[in-house]
Chain A
Amino acid sequence: MSSHLKTWPLSLFLGIVSFPLVLMYVYLVIDTITVTPPGSIIPEKFTLEDWRFLFEEATGRRPSIWSVTLNSFILASANSIVIVSISATAGYALSRLNVPFRSFFLAGMMVLHAFPTVTLIVSIFLILQMVGLYNTLIGVILVKASLLMPFGVWIMKGFYDTVPWEIEMAGVQDGASRFTVWRRLVLPQVQPGFLALGVFAFLDGWSEFILPQVLAPSSDVQVLSVYLAGLIADEFYFDFGLFKAVGLFYSVPVILLYLFFQDKLMNIYGGGSKG
């Protein structure tokens, strides 16, 4: 664009304002594998000492990192599976089928989609206590998935909207039921959407902090975010190297998924406009 105009001042400007951000991320990696003497920012020697937590057994104070990781993985995958499978049908119904009160449901999903969910945390906490799902992973999963559901349905509806009507018309004309049309003709067209939403929901579940912190704090159901926050908050334990090592360990799946699905994720974040 406008190549006769100089771009280096712009580049320089962005370079300067981006510097602190880049610095933080670079040191996230550096600090986990080096020792830096106090009062310096230059690492002195290489070490893997900070990664010892990977091999520690569970103690009374802290559960083992692997059981915590497994919990995080269960929360994230369950969130992803529930969101994708339920949005797949609901999004289609709202996009294409003659549902009674369809526009009411559409408006409802839209309102809920814009609705700030954290405000509900107080009553959700009380509800989970009443129904006995407090301090269980399943409770967190159900709540997390429900709160993300309107967003997922809305996004999925958007994907279905892009499938040409004539494909469906051709399908019913060929004698297929609406269900068959959906499964055999429409679903394959929105597969990229599924993938994107699935990855998004996985990351969303993986990153979630407030819900598990409030709804499932006990150590056997702890997830990585709560574990890490607990480490940082622990007064007796102050070791940035360790925090960062756990943090890096925690963010590896995020970074990998992000690198693989960057464009699709940006689409969802931009198009869905949540956050």
Chain B
Amino acid sequence: MRIVLDAVTKQFGAVKAIDDVTLEIVDGELLALLGPSGCGKTTTLFAICGIHRIDSGRILFGDLEVSGLPPQRRSVGVVFQSFALYPHMSVSENIGFPLQVRKESKAEIERKVDEVADLVHIRELLERRPAQLSGGQQQRVAIARAIVRRPDILLLDEPLANLDAKLRLEMRSELRRLQKETGITAVIVTHDQVEAMSMSDRIVIMDDGRILQIGTPDEMYHRPSNKFVAGFIGNPPISFADGKVEDGRFVTEGLDFDLPDRIKKASVTAGQNITLGVRPEYLQPDFATPIEAEITFIENQGREALYDLTLAGGHVFRSIQSGEPICKLGDKIRWGIDADASFFFDDQGKRI
């Protein structure tokens, strides 16, 4: 189902937890709410499911406005970070609970529980208690309980945060599979950009209660709308250097090069403060725009190697290259950056 948030604001005391958020979630997509902790993404999630009351704006499920409705009257399935399984009930009682409070018949409940248990592969766990399950199994039970009554939308709050690293990889693809198979509209809240990038159809980046950018993972990576987004997405992260525009060139201590044509055209004025952003893969030994620096850090990750380059002026750039390290600490090198693939931000942080 299509979900719309229209100019939603939520305050806690004097603090605006979400501020004028407008967002459309398309039917059947998996949308990731991404941002650092405290950015308002969980508050947005709780506003959608009705746990929080919004102070202004509207929330629409399809054509129905639900802003004033309590959680019980919205058709939303939620998977909580801690899974929130009912410890005194067996797995099948947990999954059956939403149906039971709707007073469905015993046979009906049993049929639906079996069906969803098959879907999330926990058929053999139905008689156990939550305490007897591993983290990944608890996660599956929580998902089963959230989707058993076929809600309009499925919300997942940091679903992978409580799992160990190996399980996290497995559940990432598992969640995606379940969402695809059921075709349910889903919103996932995460602070982990890798999770967001790898699982979702679209990403919403939030900071300080506001939406900074909405787009596909690809757009986020290659066309970040501002410095915050560029810095938040990408691992290892992008490197920044503050400088000035002089005579159509980007100038900072230890670096001076001709701005790409698209930047020149975008009406930059001489003397304007400007920030350069270079992703590690766009700084390579043989790239066009030369950069002279000293290697101050090397991390060999086996398949690839990570380098920190410190310029004469103190700016640090990062480079990632496949294969074994090709130089050693303290080497003076002359590599190059791909100026066309690099980002430039104005002094408000907006990408030019």
Q: Does a CB–CB distance below 8 Å link A and B in the complex?
A: yes
A175 touches B84 (CB 8 A): no
Q: Count of chain B residues with Cβ under 8 Å from any Cβ of A? A: 24
**B146 — which chain A residues lie within 8 A by C-beta?**
173
**CB proximity of B188 to chain A, nearest CB, Å:** 16
Give bound CA distance, A174 to B155, whole Å: 13
A170 touches B84 (CB 8 A): yes
Asked if B98 lies at the interface with its beta carbon under 8 angstroms from chain A, I say yes
Asked if B271 lies at the interface with its beta carbon under 8 angstroms from chain A, I say no
Q: Which of B84, B88, B97, B101 contacts A164 (CB 8 A)?
A: B84
B51 touches A169 (CB 8 A): yes
**CB proximity of A156 to chain B, nearest CB, Å:** 18
Asked if B82 lies at the interface with its beta carbon under 8 angstroms from chain A, I say yes
Asked if A176 lies at the interface with its beta carbon under 8 angstroms from chain B, I say yes
A164 touches B82 (CB 8 A): yes
- Are A189 and B88 CB-contacts (below 8 A) given A172-B71, A175-B101, A180-B101? yes
Give bound CA distance, A167 to B77, whole Å: 14
Asked if A177 lies at the interface with its beta carbon under 8 angstroms from chain B, I say yes
Chain A contact residues: helix, strand, loop or mixed: helix
Asked if A185 lies at the interface with its beta carbon under 8 angstroms from chain B, I say yes
A188 touches B88 (CB 8 A): yes
B97 touches A174 (CB 8 A): yes
**B145 — which chain A residues lie within 8 A by C-beta?**
170, 174
Give bound CA distance, A164 to B81, whole Å: 12
- Are A176 and B101 CB-contacts (below 8 A) given A169-B51, A169-B78, A170-B78? yes
Asked if A166 lies at the interface with its beta carbon under 8 angstroms from chain B, I say yes
Give bound CA distance, A174 to B73, whole Å: 10
In the complex, which of the residues A169, A184, A185, A188 has the most CB atoms of chain B within 10 Å of its own CB atom? A169
Asked if B76 lies at the interface with its beta carbon under 8 angstroms from chain A, I say yes
Asked if B80 lies at the interface with its beta carbon under 8 angstroms from chain A, I say yes
Asked if B10 lies at the interface with its beta carbon under 8 angstroms from chain A, I say no
**CB proximity of B302 to chain A, nearest CB, Å:** 39
Give bound CA distance, A177 to B146, whole Å: 17
**B101 — which chain A residues lie within 8 A by C-beta?**
174-176, 180
**CB proximity of B269 to chain A, nearest CB, Å:** 52
In the A-B complex, list the 9 residue pairs whose CB atoms are closest, starting with the nearest. A166-B84, A174-B98, A170-B84, A188-B88, A172-B71, A166-B80, A176-B101, A173-B78, A175-B101
| Residues of chain A having any CB pair with chain B under 8 Å | 164, 166-167, 169-177, 180, 184-185, 188-189
- 6 A-B pairs (CB sep. < 8 Å): A166-B81, A166-B84, A169-B51, A170-B86, A171-B97, A177-B72
